[in-house]
Amino acid sequence: MSGYIRLTLGAGLTGAAAAWLCGPAAARACAVCGGDKGSALVQGAQNGVLVMLIITYVVLLGMAGLALAWFIRARRRAMPSAASFGAPLPGPRA
């Protein structure tokens, strides 16, 4: 087994063990997670997460749209233009 795989596997197992040991007690310690569902703190945290998700997906969709526009532009430039269909081919004349 290579050193990178061994290091990754060890880090994953260490993280899983830490999550198992600190699981329920750490979740109860969070005022947002264990708080009142209708409180202003919980609603603000939920709205903040929603805003961050919306911003992330808008940026990702913008990047995908830009990549698609570049792809379409490259395909259009690779196609021969309509004016060149009737033009004679270059080369020696018979």
Exposure letters 45-84 (e unless 16+ CB within 10 A, then b): eeeeeeeeeeeeeeeeeeeeeeeeeeeeeeeeeeeeeeee
pLDDT at 18 over 90: no
pTM of the model as a whole: 0.48
Of 45 and 26, which is predicted with more confidence?
45
Distances (CA, A) of 14 to 5, 6, 26, 52, 71: 14, 12, 17, 30, 44
pLDDT digits (tens, 9 = 90+) for 42-65: 788 889 999 999 999 999 999 999
Question: What type of residue sits at position 57?
Answer: Y
Contact of 34 with 27, CB cutoff 8 Å: yes
